[in-house]
Structure 1
Amino acid sequence: MEFLEFLGNRADDLLEMGLAHAAIVGAAVLIATVIGVALGIATYRTERPREFVLAITGTFLTIPSFALFILLLGPLGLGWPPVLFALVMYGLLPVVRNTITGLREVDPAVIESAQGMGLNRRQRLLRIELPLAWPVVITGVRVTTLVLLGIAAIGAVVNGPGYGEMIFTGLARVGTPVAVNMVLAGTLGVIVLAVLFDLIFYTVQRLTTSRGIR
């Protein structure tokens, strides 16, 4: 009951933080998707570039997020710039990997048939390969989004936007009556956003994938 009262009293703050959290994650996912799909398209046919790109983007995920935010303070300062930059870094691997996987799983016979119909490489990619690989690609984008929603909360350590502010404030007040409510409210906000984003991407996937390959 006390927690529900806290949510009611801080509803405006929670809504504002939720919008900021969704905005920074949405921007990072958009940038990571553009870069990741481009890297996947550029490297899926050749082994060494493909392995190099996957190794580099995989290395990004091994960097502790707390440490990365602190390291970015020098060149990017406080606020959303270091958070956005870090989130894009962390979001690349699932998009790149799924783009490469999806394109490489396209049936060679289908590609040969398209080639026999006179389609050039660009036309085959845009009309045949990418549409067939799309369900796998968007799954990577969904995974990226869910990962970034959690990492974005840690961005509060550099004054980043979102529910991390509520969580870190609560952690700083451990021992006080309001501490648990603040941490729980911030965590619950991230979970709600995760559910909403996942529903959005599920809907987008259904609407943009032809019935024959669902």
Structure 2
Amino acid sequence: MSFWEYVRNRQELLWFETYQHASMVLQCLLLATAIGLIIAIVTYRSKTASAMATGIASVLFTIPSFALFGLLIPVFGLGVTPSVIALVLYSLLPIVRNAVVGMSNVDPSLVDAARGMGMSRLRVLFKVEMPLAWPVILTGIRVSAQLVMGVAAIAAYVSGPGLGDQIFSGLARLGGANAVNSALAGTVGIIILALIFDGFFVLIGRFTTSRGIRG
């Protein structure tokens, strides 16, 4: 059976697994973005605190994915929960690092001017610092999306949802019928999703970044 015949015969399953994969990545990315921005907001004014936050995220990022999933199994079992926890942890580093860098590099004179106009620290954060840092923050989210898209495939190791099941199933049956087609279908699907997500974030950047900053 050719690859295209394999895809056509299993298109319903492949569409479902593609939806699962995209949904898991998007939800984990949103959760990691919320957590990462909170960490950055709390720590970016202090070099020591921001260095500690970035360092912890870096340590988590260096843990091999199979090892992390393996460590999560005894505590959370198999399925969605360990998959989500692992993906969120892997997403944090680019988001935290870029958010800290972006906000800490905002021109202090602009912050002083905003404070001089009577703005509170909270208003300065959300009206001045975060909008100016947004392109850098978005780049971190975009990098995380690409990283997590691939790591999400390994979630099949803990019975997580998504296209990783196609890859693991194919690799487990190498030499058997449609083994290569299965692994290839999962891989191609993830590549396509990664391109779609990247294009989506490019559009977000165009619509949410002011022309002055883009210029």
Q: TM-score range by the shorter chain?
A: over 0.9
5+ residue gaps, structure 2 = none
Q: How far apart are residue 205 of structure 1 and its match?
A: 1.2
Partner of 1:19: 19
Partner of 2:128: 128
Q: How many residues align?
A: 214
After superposition, give the CA deviation of every residue in 1:156-205 in whole Å (9 maximum; x if it has no partner): 01100001100000001101231111111000000011011111111111
Which residue pairs with 1:172 in the alignment?
A: 172
1:50 aligned partner? 50
Residues 99-145 of structure 1, C-alpha deviations (whole Å, 9 max, x = no match): 00110121111111112111121111110000000011011001101
Q: Does 1:65 align with 2:65?
A: yes
Give TM-score scaled by structure 2 length.
0.97
Q: Distance in 2 between matches of 1:56 and 1:106?
A: 24
Cα distance between partner residues in 2 of 1:161 and 1:213: 39
How far apart, in 1, do the equivalents of 2:70 and 2:110 lie? 49
**What does residue 87 of structure 2 align with?**
87
CA distance in 1, matches of 2:47, 2:114: 24
Mapping for residues 108-147 of structure 1, pairs under 5 Å: 108-147=108-147
Moved over 4 A (4+): none
Please say which of residues 5-14 and 160-169 is displaced more in the overlay: 5-14
Deviations 1:29-83 (A, max 9, x none): 0110000011111111101111111110000011110111111111111111000
Return the alpha-carbon distance in structure 2 between the equivalents of residues 211 and 9 of structure 1. Answer: 48
Unaligned runs of 5+ in 1: none
Match of 2:37 in 1: 37
Residue 155 of structure 2 is aligned to residue 155 of structure 1: yes
Tell me, in whole angstroms, the C-alpha distance in 2 between the residues paired with 1:96 and 1:117: 29
Identity, in percent, stands at 48
Task: Tell me the C-alpha RMSD between the 2 structures.
Answer: 1.0
* Secondary structure of residue in 1 paired with 2:192: helix
Name the SS of the counterpart of 1:119 in structure 2.
Answer: coil
